[in-house]
Structure 1
Amino acid sequence: MRGTLYIVSAPSGAGKSSIVNQVLAQDPKISLSISFTSRSPRPGERHAEHYHFVDEAEFQRMIAAGDFFEHALVHGDWKGTARQSVEPMLAAGRDVLLEIDWQGARQVREQVRDAISIFILPPSRGALDERMHKRAQDSEETIARRLGAARDEMSHFGEYDYLIVNDDFDEAVDEMCAIFTASRLRRDRQVARYSKLLTTLLTDEAAKGDASP
């Protein structure tokens, strides 16, 4: 049975990556697709773990070759999801999670109609500012640019299936896990998963067998 594709988006500083990392630690049934980016690594980031870091020339080559499932220019840097990072896992029945912005999410939804999308919001604009400064990974100029773009990013929350407000971290993690669990329990997926069981439960021959002494 084909896996489910999940999309998670949020403005910078909303806590998306922290929530996603905790959810991945708790849910072994889902895998994270590692995106490509043309920006340089931030302190503590490692190649092929946080991103696949490539220069802009290589990123443009991949675009021209049609290697990307989705790609977009985000805060002056290119980000994208390679097809080979997603399709094999879905085909093998693995659930896959994409951490992408709203532009990439639009591209994915056009190609995967049954993708499930989640948007994460901060509890306030003040909290967003505080979190960006606390992580101390960007310059003041970069933080100002990201804060300026945050309102536009947040205005796209209505395009998503689910909305999580990250006021309490543990609660936000539980809410995302609940979305994944509910998705797996949808009738269509359960019918595909338990087709043999349903057949034996509902056929006359099975009923006769159960009634035998």
Structure 2
Amino acid sequence: MARFKIGDETDLALCATLKHEFLRCRDAFETFAASAERMIMQGENRSMAFTTYNAYARFIHHLYEFLLAATQRDRQDTKQLDYELADKYLQGIAQRVLNKRREAILDGTAPAWENHISAYPEHVPPEFASEFRQVRNTAFGHAKPQRHSLSLTSFYHRYHKFLYMLYADSIWMWGRVDDDFPDLGEITAFSVLIKNESPPANPEANA
């Protein structure tokens, strides 16, 4: 599986995966936001830091995976990117989203709650995409000894505004859920219930 066309079977399957991955990202972000609020209001402790860290690490992981899958759809190619090309694409996506937000502020079309233009630099830090990938790999993707010394706090303070912009930019298309939850194939068909199903046919029965 590699090249595909928009609207074909592969594309429809990829779109279901994109929807699933973004909803996972949304769930992780909402869990993180609620835990972070409790941390601010009630004070910090190790247990709360553990819970908040885990939620933020999940948010980073699912956002990263969602963006890579979205890149596959833009390229109409499911071939996995090497890390250097993935960094290049994610850096470009982040810069495009930042430009769009700055332009909306400058031309007066941004919502009333938007931050002042001074909150957004002209350029995404050049190391953003590579650090995004490395933190995703260490904080959630792989159980590495480096996790013990990785400062997710430092990453949050340096790059959260860019992660949030990437997240918010995709909510309108991928984060909406109507009253009728979307059909995501075997994802939403998952069940732990024992169901009455006909046993598989015995090919030797009619021999």
User: Greater relative contact order (Cα 8 A, min sep 6): structure 1 or 2?
Assistant: 1
Using the size of structure 2 for normalisation, the TM-score is: 0.21
| More strand as a share of residues | 1
| More helix as a share of residues | 2
Using the size of structure 1 for normalisation, the TM-score is: 0.20
